[in-house]
């Protein structure tokens, strides 16, 4: 479903819906979305529902610490193998924003102070990488990005006057990604084991004892298919690069 008020794409597992923004989307973004939201988040939940332990569909305790790890890892692989390009993830900004808002190694920043910081950093990065784009356009992009980032960081906070309170969920992206990458370096088979359901790395040993080691659904790795752009073009009539 398309939600005009949505600031980012996401999967609603409970309603079994893919929520999209009303903004245009490139073929690369579609590939990333397919890998991250469908072939990881939705897949793990669906696979867990078909396992001998249905609880794996909704998630074991502490699974969120790992959840974004395989999703980000696989999305990067999809871009590399499907597009032949090196991805440029911005996982650090979520951790940094939460740290600044919570007052880690500094005084906690207010919503406005964090907004100004993220806006300035975003604009600086774009100025260095996209010099041909008009300044006014980059400024507006930086403003929207800072707004969305701060709304994510302070979601659930009822009184912004109380500094140091924020949502730490966005720290899971970088931490989970690094932990999963380290685990995959030791054993590449861990990726398939993580696809058995909404589980964390810390659960894999116990799941092996229960005989749950392979997904209940075949993972087809559609997002890594180099012909995906051609398939998308059947519906659009052209490929947006």
Tell me which residues of the chain have a pLDDT lower than 50. 239-241
Q: What is the per-residue pLDDT for 63?
A: 94
153-173 b/e (C-beta count within 10 Å ≥ 16 → b): bbeeeeeeeeeebbeeebbbb
- Residue-range domain boundaries for the chain: 10-88+170-236
For residues 198 and 70, the answer to whether their CB atoms sit within 8 Å is no
The model's pLDDT over 65-122, given as tens digits with 9 standing for 90+, comes to 899 999 999 999 999 988 888 887 778 899 999 999 999 989 999 999 999 999 999 9
For residues 52 and 212, the answer to whether their CB atoms sit within 8 Å is yes
Q: What is the per-residue pLDDT for 226?
A: 87
Tell me how far apart the alpha carbons of residues 92 and 174 are, in angstroms, rounded to a whole number: 6
Q: Which helix (H) or strand (E) holds 65?
A: helix 64-83
Q: What is the per-residue pLDDT for 236?
A: 65
In DSSP notation, 25-60 reads --HHHHHHHIIIIIIIIIHHHHHHHTSS-GGGGT--
Q: What is the per-residue pLDDT for 154?
A: 96
């Amino acid at each position: 479903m398309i939600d005009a008020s949505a600031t980012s794409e996401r999967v609603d597992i409970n309603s079994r819906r893919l929520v999209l923004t009303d903004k245009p989307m490139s073929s690369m973004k579609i590939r990333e979305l397919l890998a991250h939201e469908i072939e990881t988040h939705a897949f793990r939940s669906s696979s867990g529902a078909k396992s001998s332990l249905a609880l794996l569909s909704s998630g074991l305790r502490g699974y969120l610490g790992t959840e974004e790890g395989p999703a980000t890892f696989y999305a990067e692989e999809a871009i590399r193998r499907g597009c032949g390009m090196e991805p440029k993830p911005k996982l650090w900004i979520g951790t940094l924003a939460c740290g600044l808002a919570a007052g880690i190694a500094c005084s906690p920043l207010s919503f406005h102070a964090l907004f100004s910081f993220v806006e300035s950093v975003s604009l600086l990065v774009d100025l260095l990488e996209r010099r041909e784009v008009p300044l006014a356009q980059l400024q507006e992009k930086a403003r929207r990005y800072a707004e969305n980032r701060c709304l994510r960081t302070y979601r659930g906070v009822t009184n912004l006057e109380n500094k140091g309170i924020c949502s730490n969920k966005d720290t899971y992206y970088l931490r989970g990604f690094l932990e999963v990458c380290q685990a995959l370096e030791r054993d590449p088979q861990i990726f398939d084991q993580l696809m058995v359901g909404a589980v964390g790395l810390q659960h894999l040993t116990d799941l092996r004892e229960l005989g749950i080691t392979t997904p209940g659904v075949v993972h087809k790795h559609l997002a890594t298919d180099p012909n995906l752009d051609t398939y998308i073009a059947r519906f659009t009539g052209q490929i947006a690069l």
